[in-house]
Amino acid sequence: MKYVSGETARVGDSVRLGTRESGVVVCSIDAGEYSDEYSSNDWRYLEQGILVELECAGLVHFPEEDPELRLFERGL
């Protein structure tokens, strides 16, 4: 999945949803990348998109590009 800016979403990226909500990409199902806390066995059934751990909302699945989701800082 890509952000609106055209950059590919990667595990570890810090993101902003709208103007207030922030979080971290914990899985990129498209790329087959999963953080240690979220295994592929548990989440690959979603088939596409990314999982983001948002500070206020918890774990959210974005199956496709969302114009409100923006890369804030590239993960390590």
Domain ranges of the chain: 14-73
Angle among Cα 46, 10, 71 to the nearest 5 degrees reads 110
Can you read off the two tokens belonging to residue 26? Answer: 């914990």
Its pTM stands at 0.93
- pLDDT tens-place values along the chain, 76 residues long: 999 999 999 999 999 999 889 999 999 999 999 999 999 999 989 999 999 999 989 999 999 999 999 999 998 6
Can you read off the two tokens belonging to residue 67? Answer: 């114009």
The set of long-range contacts for 44-48, using a CB threshold of 8 Å and a minimum separation of 24, is: 48/1
